[in-house]
């Protein structure tokens, strides 16, 4: 196959390939957490880096990713890093149709597959709600608020049935139109620093309950 016919890296498996090679296995007693998701996870370290400094946190967020892409890269970007915990926040790009139309049940199925892979490798999971959004700047007119709420109900139900902690950012950040409060975002989708300040204590409380902090 010549260079012109190379298959694109659809799941962005090469995004963190070199960084992953440089990460050594955790020492005895050392506990790592992988933050796994889309641009909301990726932006966390960029917009509020202080939350990550001095901690055993590994950020593996990729802008625009859907759960179908994330499931493909779950092994190199999560399992092979041997973390104690993986935090999964994803689904809004699926609803936006970034990689094509997809049913809510299929999105949930992708998330469940990630949870099952984590469990099989002795990795604890924290599932996160999808953040509220009234519209997507890159896909105007979809009006995703109701679908986001419906998927969050499905995620929460699965988490509760399987003793998986659930970080409910949606309830804490939604406005009266079920969108993201303007104080927490510039574009209605991605959190700003104030938004991450709301998310962090919700997550920290869960980590404390897991006796991680």
In tens, the pLDDT along 91-130 reads 999 999 999 999 999 999 999 999 999 999 999 999 999 9
* Token reading at 29: 């007693």
Looking at residue 8, its pLDDT comes to 85
Can you say whether residue 122 is alpha, beta or left, with left for phi > 0 and alpha for psi between -120 and 50 degrees? left
Q: How far is the C-alpha of 89 from the C-alpha of 33, rounded, in Å? A: 13
pLDDT in tens, 2-58: 445 566 899 999 999 999 998 877 777 788 999 999 999 999 999 999 999 999 999
The string of DSSP letters for 110-148 reads HHHHHHHHHHHTT-EEEEEPPPP-S-BTTBTT---HHHH
Q: Is the pLDDT of residue 206 over 50?
A: yes
pLDDT in tens, 134-172: 999 998 989 999 999 999 999 999 999 999 999 999 999
Q: How far is the C-alpha of 124 from the C-alpha of 63, rounded, in Å? A: 24
Q: How far is the C-alpha of 127 from the C-alpha of 152, rounded, in Å? A: 10
Helices marked H in 73-103 — which ranges?
74-77, 92-96
The string of DSSP letters for 148-201 reads HHHHHHHHHHHHHHTT--EE-HHHHHB-TTSSB-GGGBSSSSSB-HHHHHHHHH
Does the 31-209 domain belong in CATH 3.40.50.1110?
A: yes
Can you give the length of the chain in residues? 213
Q: What is the CA 171 to chain-centroid distance, rounded? A: 17
């Amino acid at each position: 196959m010549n260079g012109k016919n190379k298959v694109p890296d659809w799941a962005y498996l090469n995004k963190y390939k070199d960084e992953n090679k440089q990460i050594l296995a955790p020492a005895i007693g050392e506990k790592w957490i992988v933050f796994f998701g889309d641009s909301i996870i990726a932006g966390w370290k960029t917009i509020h880096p202080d939350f990550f400094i001095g901690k055993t946190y590994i950020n593996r967020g990729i802008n625009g990713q859907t759960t179908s892409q994330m499931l493909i890269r779950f092994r190199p970007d999560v399992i092979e890093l041997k973390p104690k915990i993986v935090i999964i926040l994803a689904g809004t790009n699926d609803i936006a149709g970034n990689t094509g139309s997809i049913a809510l049940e299929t999105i949930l199925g992708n998330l469940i597959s990630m949870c099952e892979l984590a469990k099989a490798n002795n990795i604890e999971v924290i599932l996160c709600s999808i953040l509220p959004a009234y519209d997507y700047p890159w896909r105007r007119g979809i009006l995703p608020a109701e679908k986001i709420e419906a998927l969050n109900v499905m995620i929460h139900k699965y988490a509760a049935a399987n003793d998986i902690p659930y970080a409910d950012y949606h309830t804490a950040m939604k406005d009266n139109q079920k969108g993201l409060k303007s104080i927490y975002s510039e574009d209605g989708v991605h959190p700003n620093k104030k938004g991450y300040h709301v998310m962090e204590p919700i997550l920290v409380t869960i980590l404390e309950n897991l006796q991680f902090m």
